[in-house]
Amino acid sequence: MNTSKVRHMWSLMTDLLRNTRVAQLRQMSEQRPRWIAGPLTHAALRLATELFAAKPRKGGDTPYLSHLLAVSALVMEHGGTEVQAAGALLHDAIEDVKITAGELSRRLEQRGASQADAAAVAAVVEACTDGTPDQKRDDGDWLQRKQEYLAALNVKRASDPALLVSLADKVHNIEDTLRVTRGGTTVEDFYNKPRFKAGAPEQRWYYSTLARIFAEKLAANAEVRPLVERLKGAVDEIFRGVEDWQP
């Protein structure tokens, strides 16, 4: 057999092996994730667990940590960086635990994060905070807090790392509401007081405005677009038939 025939047969065999299931699995196993969890992820997980260990989800006994982990997972699944994923784990820390961004950064450093990463995460968390720790967070300041939050989102660039974290947070919250309303609870009953600070019409205005802002900022991002569409779809279904309301 001449050399050219041997080379041709070898090429055919190589192509066949390359396309076998074993070869495909080997190729998959050799692929690396977008980023590898390091000291920042470990520090954020540890701190989130410490800060929210005793806190339940609103209106039930589900550990609040479930929400933080879910939001971080959504961030990771839609192109987020390690800083964004860590920020998602701690996105409610300033708002709910009443610590400053500087203190949050310091605590992350104490648990092994670099100074730069800790500061970047703290900046994301601060940007995702609804209101300030000194606000009463009662019926009287609900509208002010929401308007300030929406205004802050509206001026962010599409590349701002806090946008994806905020979007993931809102998606997890609204899809949790969707699960309840699909189970038979009316949206009016769900958003009753004192469990929530505003009723269904006000919530419809808030979430519809969020959906519009995120669509304007992030819909061009192919990785994030499915999350934008999930938010809009859930908002449309939950608030169908709820009266319009404008501040």
Tell me, yes or no, whether 217 and 147 share the same domain.
yes
- Which residue type occupies 154? N
Domain coverage including residue 176: 136-247
163 and 122 within one domain: no
Residue 147 falls inside a structural domain: yes
User: In this predicted model, what pLDDT tens digit does every residue of 92-149 receive, in sequence order?
Assistant: 999 999 899 999 999 999 999 999 999 999 999 999 998 765 555 566 789 999 999 9
Total structural domains within the chain: 2
* Top mean-pLDDT range of 121-135, 191-205, 217-231: 217-231
Confidence at 180, pLDDT banded by 50, 70, 90: very high
Query: Are 66 and 90 contained in the same domain?
Result: yes
Residues 124 and 144 in one domain: no
Residue 170: its pLDDT value, please?
A: 98
